[in-house]
Structure 1
């Protein structure tokens, strides 16, 4: 090797040392900087002149494990989802109250039944009557408050979606902008590493809200997708999430895939190519905080609202509904069945049929009066028991008969107008038997002569469960239920059920009825409450129902907390693994610094020797 080659190698070595020292210095200075990834210099051996070799700095490498980074982002999305679910379910449990605790729905209900029980022994006492009504008011107000609390949570998560979307859009724009900057830099430019750190931080932030995966593209570029394959960043352009908040939500604020029918905030995403997708209908987001908020707003909390609505409806109907059995049709060789008086059937009231089909199976049918054509036909899931049929009564008995024959003709049941009464019958030759038929109607008078009464009302109107094109009266009833104002004005009607003839003094008929309905009568509850199924609805007393859904909520909250804790451990473990390779190790950097100092000294010594030799050669020539 000639002196010039040796000198060139030494100079190249010093330059490489200078670059490495600069990187080591940056690593040490940023050891505690969040998101900073340790860097190292890329060096290659190159030929120097005709013989020997030198070193060339080709760029900077970020010490990062991309596989663990991808896993960490996936689990961060899962943690964002689990954290939000746990947080909101914990708040919901606080609204419902701890099973068996005080100041809860359960305790308010128990206080009401206790007050009614006391009334049985003192039916004429004003104090006992007012105490019962006061307990009823407390129960109604507790139901109101519970419903309002649920809607407040829905409004909060709806606002959280808005805030999260704004943050995600900011991050996506930053990622796209950094991609553009990196495209103008060579792969060997040391400043690229700093930009990549910033881009990774933005992608990590997005992963808290939306499930994402990053794919390298071209020189220093990254494309970002959701795990469902929707592109969020690509070719220097970013998708844009758009959220139209609906303000304060109410029980009737519900999501619908038809934007014209949806009454909650809609979430869409405009892709880099200009196309737009309904992010909810197309399930664009499957994890992260936004996905949790959507699930909570449109499913979990809607179900919670249904639970308290069902409680309010059952509480009201159990005391006001009167079931009247049909009158048997005189058996004949060709026809047998029942006649029913429909004069008191109001919208939401029902006709109840039980029959044995030609396969020997007993079937149940519930015929509901629905006078709004926009609400028909009623949704009737396969296998639902009872089968629910909606019928418009506004056309009179003839129209009712026609609708029923059209809806149930295949069952071999025959409907007819029998002197203004509805007749339901079957031909024994078809091996079909009508076992029972009845009507369930709402008593609207406090002194109808029967123990039933409209104890609780929908604001000041009787609750019948009417169904219209705008929805069911059941939806949001928990916010509107109250003790009948007419009953508050005349507390004696808690026990007095007839004025003509007068209810005998000390008569316990009504108080016995109320207590029995509240404590021992069994009712069926909608599968939409999360209890039971369409084929086997949950059945039990009102007290059983309250205990069941409060217990279910407590279990859900505990499960969510456990999931959140488990997910936190997974994220923490992955973060530690990621940090092992990506964080600055001061000991390693100091070791590198010593090696670089030695290398620097060696290269400097070579330059010194070459200088000395050149001076000697020049002196020889002289």
Structure 2
């Protein structure tokens, strides 16, 4: 081997050692920098004369792509689970601990206790005031809980907006780095130090994006990435798509998301693609994990169901006291027609008809529900919670003849309604088609009728108006009722009406107070699937207290399950974080060992150069 070759090899070794030392220095300096990936030199052996040398061709990032892909998946899952758990914990605080002071159950039990005291001392003015105060407390608590739930929904709406803004910024940064990488002078997957730093930054942006939504990442030969949603919609390539979200400033129980933009009163996440066109990611369900998915689910499902539960409870406690069902007695021979008074029906009140079909022998249950606009027809059978009930909406704005025509048309001749006045209708069946088994009307006592001789009365109102469960072009009256429920102002002005139900009521009469107590304790209702306490085919049925305990317990279980899921998800994420750190992070012991090896190699190469120098001097002195 010639001296020139030896010198060339030693110099190449020194250059490789210098590059290695620089990377060790960078690794040590960035050991605590989030997202920093350990770097190592990429070296190849080259022929140098009659020997071999080393050449540094770039920088390698010691990145385990498999662990990185797993980590991003778990980041999405952790973002989703943690956010949902945080929201459910906040919602749980609205309900309070069962039975504790300030809880919904405590307020309801306080009302029943106050009514029980009134039932034993109906002539006591303090007992009457006690009932009204307890009713006010319960109503105010329902109002407050509704506001709390809607505040959480508003927070979710703003959370989606902020997440979309963040996602757009991240996607632009990823696209920018993709374009910078096209000018990589080394080509292929080889990188230099500055390029490796760009890749670290891009990975950080992708990791942050994965916390917002579930993503899938592919890499080409030039180290450029393409980012897709988990469902396959491209987010980033050389250009970044743009997400937009039409956030609403006010969120209430009446605002709801709908896949039809014309009907939706809440925002959708829409992606505008670089080559034109757009996709509604919310409607298509393209985002299935991450914080955006969690915010969307909370806003449109979880919190809506919680509001439905409160609204149904408010509706049930109102109807338990104010709804009056009058059964039409079976006709006595020779009469064949049932008599029916439908004159006092309010929107949402029903005529309950049960008859046996002569052809099939099956019993049919029909609810003829009053509506005041044809625009809401036909009503779905879910307008009542009874899965065996067929609901027929009747537009009462058409007058008596129009009402009868609608009813008879819907019943197809099996049962016939007739008459010239809603207060004195006749109902008969055609024996060849049907036999009537039962007929009744359920009407709501208006807030102003406190002494009309009925024990039923409106203790609670819908912001001063009667709650009758009506359906109009603006939606169902039950929606948001818990936020509007209040105590009847007529009772506040005259508490004696809690006892005095007619002009002839005797002092100390307990008929109305006993009725109140019985209804609060024993009135049974069927609760629809929208409350989450049962299914469409098997709805939950029970009294007010059992229903309340059911949904409060359900919320508590949901919050606990969400917390356990979030804790488990974070354990998995932390485990992968450690694996990632072990595989791709900076280990100070390894770097120190590498530094010592580089120092020894540097010393050896320097010794070769020194020896070559001495030999050259000796040769020069020989001439």
Match of 2:205 in 1: 202
Residue-by-residue CA offset, 1:368-390 (whole Å, 9 max, x unaligned)? 11112221112336993322221
Secondary structure, counterpart of 1:85 in structure 2: helix
CA distance in 2, matches of 1:2, 1:434: 118
Match of 1:129 in 2: 128
Aligned ranges for residues 74-85 of structure 1 at < 5 Å?
Answer: 74-85=73-84
Match of 1:369 in 2: 370
CA distance in 2, matches of 1:262, 1:198: 39
- How much has 1:166 moved relative to structure 2? 1.8
Give the conservation status (yes or no) of the 8 Å contact 2:311–2:480.
Answer: yes
Give the conservation status (yes or no) of the 8 Å contact 2:98–2:106.
Answer: no
- How much has 1:189 moved relative to structure 2? 2.0
Are residues 1:179 and 2:178 paired? yes
Match of 1:41 in 2: 41
Answer with 120-129 or 262-271: which moved more: 262-271
Secondary structure, counterpart of 2:283 in structure 1: coil
Give the conservation status (yes or no) of the 8 Å contact 2:354–2:364.
Answer: yes
Match of 2:351 in 1: 351
Q: CA RMSD in A?
A: 2.0
Are residues 1:192 and 2:195 paired? yes
CA distance in 1, matches of 2:497, 2:301: 41
Match of 1:20 in 2: 20
CA distance in 1, matches of 2:344, 2:329: 16
Match of 1:435 in 2: 437
- How much has 1:337 moved relative to structure 2? 6.8
CA distance in 1, matches of 2:38, 2:342: 81
Answer with 182-191 or 140-149: which moved more: 182-191
Answer with 280-289 or 186-195: which moved more: 186-195
CA distance in 2, matches of 1:267, 1:336: 62
Aligned ranges for residues 456-467 of structure 1 at < 5 Å?
Answer: 456-467=460-471
Residue-by-residue CA offset, 1:197-242 (whole Å, 9 max, x unaligned)? 111111111111111122112412111111111111112x112221
Match of 2:396 in 1: 393
Match of 1:144 in 2: 143
Match of 1:5 in 2: 5
Give the conservation status (yes or no) of the 8 Å contact 1:98–1:554.
Answer: no
Are residues 1:58 and 2:57 paired? yes
Are residues 1:562 and 2:561 paired? no
Answer with 277-286 or 551-560: which moved more: 277-286
Unaligned runs of 5+ in 1: none
- How much has 1:395 moved relative to structure 2? 1.4
- How much has 1:618 moved relative to structure 2? 4.5
CA distance in 2, matches of 1:384, 1:268: 37
Alignment counterpart, residue 489 of structure 2, candidates 485, 489, 502? 485
Match of 2:290 in 1: 288
Aligned residues between the structures: 612
Give the conservation status (yes or no) of the 8 Å contact 1:233–1:272.
Answer: no
Aligned ranges for residues 103-118 of structure 1 at < 5 Å?
Answer: 103-118=102-117
Secondary structure, counterpart of 2:432 in structure 1: helix
- How much has 1:492 moved relative to structure 2? 0.7
- How much has 1:99 moved relative to structure 2? 1.4
CA distance in 2, matches of 1:131, 1:473: 29
CA distance in 1, matches of 2:501, 2:606: 111
Alignment CA distance shift 1:423-1:278 (3 Å): farther
CA distance in 1, matches of 2:592, 2:605: 20
Alignment counterpart, residue 547 of structure 2, candidates 527, 540, 545? 545
Alignment counterpart, residue 241 of structure 2, candidates 239, 243, 251? 239
Unaligned runs of 5+ in 2: none
Alignment CA distance shift 1:600-1:424 (3 Å): farther
Secondary structure, counterpart of 2:550 in structure 1: helix
CA distance in 2, matches of 1:424, 1:225: 64
CA distance in 2, matches of 1:238, 1:352: 60
- How much has 1:351 moved relative to structure 2? 1.2
- How much has 1:330 moved relative to structure 2? 6.1
- How much has 1:30 moved relative to structure 2? 1.0
- How much has 1:601 moved relative to structure 2? 2.1
- How much has 1:306 moved relative to structure 2? 0.9
Give the conservation status (yes or no) of the 8 Å contact 1:234–1:272.
Answer: no
Answer with 243-252 or 356-365: which moved more: 356-365
Alignment CA distance shift 1:405-1:66 (3 Å): farther
- How much has 1:591 moved relative to structure 2? 1.2
- How much has 1:9 moved relative to structure 2? 1.9
Match of 2:415 in 1: 414
Are residues 1:32 and 2:32 paired? yes
- How much has 1:607 moved relative to structure 2? 2.4
Give the conservation status (yes or no) of the 8 Å contact 2:122–2:499.
Answer: yes
Secondary structure, counterpart of 1:280 in structure 2: helix
The TM-score, its normalising length taken from structure 1, stands at 0.94
- How much has 1:265 moved relative to structure 2? 2.7
CA distance in 2, matches of 1:535, 1:73: 40
- How much has 1:165 moved relative to structure 2? 1.8
CA distance in 2, matches of 1:229, 1:406: 51
CA distance in 1, matches of 2:583, 2:498: 75
Answer with 246-255 or 263-272: which moved more: 263-272
